[in-house]
Structure 1
Amino acid sequence: MSQVKSKKRVTDHGEVFTSEREVNAMLDLVKQETERIDSRFLEPACGNGNFLAEVLRRKLAVVEAKYKKSQLEYERYAVIAISSIYGVDILEDNAQECRERLFKIFDDQYTKLYKTECKEECRASVKFLLKRNILWGDALDFTNPVTKKPIVFSEWSAVNGSMIKRRDYMFKFLVEQSHQMALFSDEGNPAAIDEPVKDYPVMHFLKLADYATD
């Protein structure tokens, strides 16, 4: 894959993609975290997803190895893995391409494992998670480049087996020193974050798309 889409994009946005070899070398430095299903990763200039794609591949390899004998368990842990991956990019087409790329990585493995038994509601949950977690925005000023609305991320927490709890937080507040990137510096403990922008009722992991257009 080329590391440059166009000279203009390099000039205007400093856009240069990291090579696969460099991505793997860097992720190998935190190999244990990349293979923990629920460890959170944020790429604040995600491009079309070179880092996040490899993180997802590693997480899903663990999910497949541990849970493929039970489709429901595989689906639940795949959703948890995807819910832990976050990205922001200043170019809208990159964010969209990243979402599509991550979905394909999941869907290819899911289809290979369960073929005609795959559930469309599981695919819908994954698409919704990627819509909420991979955002078009400027990570330097914490807003959308056009609307200037603040970037809002969702925190997803597994509760009571198959249920997921969603809380939305302002990206700007998450990276302020007082929060110390709490949502994204997961150490296996509940995130130490102040009041969310919005708090949602728990929902089954296969029903996340029922959050409508949020």
Structure 2
Amino acid sequence: MSALIKSRQRVADHGEVFTAEREVNAMLDLVKSETHRIDSRFLEPACGSGNFLIEVLRRKLSIVEERYGKGQLEFERYAIVALGSVYGVDLLKDNVAECRDRLFGYFDEVYRRLFGDACREECRAAAAYVLARNIICGDALTMKTVGRNPEPIVFSEWSPVNGSLVKRRDYSLAHLLVYQPMDGPSLFSDLGEEAFIPKPVRDFPLTHYLKLAEAEHA
């Protein structure tokens, strides 16, 4: 069976066909400068097991390592920013789990190579938590989660502030992608009029990057 499909039944049921690495990189090269920006956000609405997102993360972490690889604190901070900039949605739970595992595994591979026994479990926990918030089992067409009781998909924005602090805001995917009327403000505009800025569904206090998971229940 080709590496681009898991089974013929999944192709028939879900139209699931994965994109080859060569095509992934060719498409990412079209926006190469954005893949080299640590905080530039990428959303893959049918992420599968993460073929696009893993390549985006590889490019971003190469920049993080190049700039901050000699200092553990700075590497950790910017690696969390890089992880927080990749988002994915997929219908199938096994794809979501595999995507999270691949992204975390690559982060941890780089982290261990650079810092060995000095690696901190708090940083690994923060990385896993960010990926759990950013890679969602859902339907990008309905913009709702998959399951017995579907709910609106909510993504977290992770913005670095004042060194080691992170500002988290949660947004409904539907609100992020809403289209404005022709005579109203738009989400993206260079014409000088007021832009549409979605309101967060939840706003968190500034939190140290190692304590992101704890802020959920604060």
Partner of 1:127: 128
Partner of 1:53: 54
What does the per-residue CA deviation read over 1:47-92, in whole Å, with 9 as the maximum and x for residues that have no partner? 0000000000000000001111111001111011111110000111
Partner of 2:192: none
Partners of 1:192 and 1:162 in 2: CA distance = 30
Partner of 1:167: 169
Q: Is the 8 A contact 1:174 1:180 kept in 2?
A: no
Q: Is the 8 A contact 2:80 2:127 kept in 1?
A: yes
Give 1:181 deviation, angstroms: 6.8
Q: Is the 8 A contact 2:57 2:82 kept in 1?
A: yes
Partners of 2:124 and 2:196 in 1: CA distance = 31
> Residue 149 in 1 paired to residue 147 in 2?
no
Partners of 2:113 and 2:19 in 1: CA distance = 29
> Residue 196 in 1 paired to residue 197 in 2?
no
Measured on the aligned residues, the alpha-carbon RMSD in Å equals 1.9
Structure 1 residues 62 and 16, CA gap change in structure 2 (3 angstroms): same
Per chain length, whose mean CA-contact separation is higher, i.e. which structure has more relative contact order (CA < 8 Å, sep 6+)? 1
Partners of 2:123 and 2:130 in 1: CA distance = 11
Give 1:125 deviation, angstroms: 0.5
**SS, match of residue 155 in structure 1:** strand
Partners of 1:101 and 1:48 in 2: CA distance = 8
Aligned residues: percent identity? Answer: 59
Partner of 1:69: 70
Partner of 1:114: 115
Give 1:30 deviation, angstroms: 0.6
Aligned length: 207
What TM-score, normalized by structure 1, do the two folds share?
A: 0.92
Give 1:19 deviation, angstroms: 0.2
Amino acid at match of 1:210: E
**SS, match of residue 36 in structure 1:** coil
What TM-score, normalized by structure 2, do the two folds share?
A: 0.90
Partners of 1:192 and 1:206 in 2: CA distance = 32
Partners of 2:160 and 2:68 in 1: CA distance = 16
Partners of 1:127 and 1:93 in 2: CA distance = 16
Structure 1: which 5+ runs fail to align? 183-190
Structure 2: which 5+ runs fail to align? 189-194
Structure 1 residues 35 and 192, CA gap change in structure 2 (3 angstroms): farther
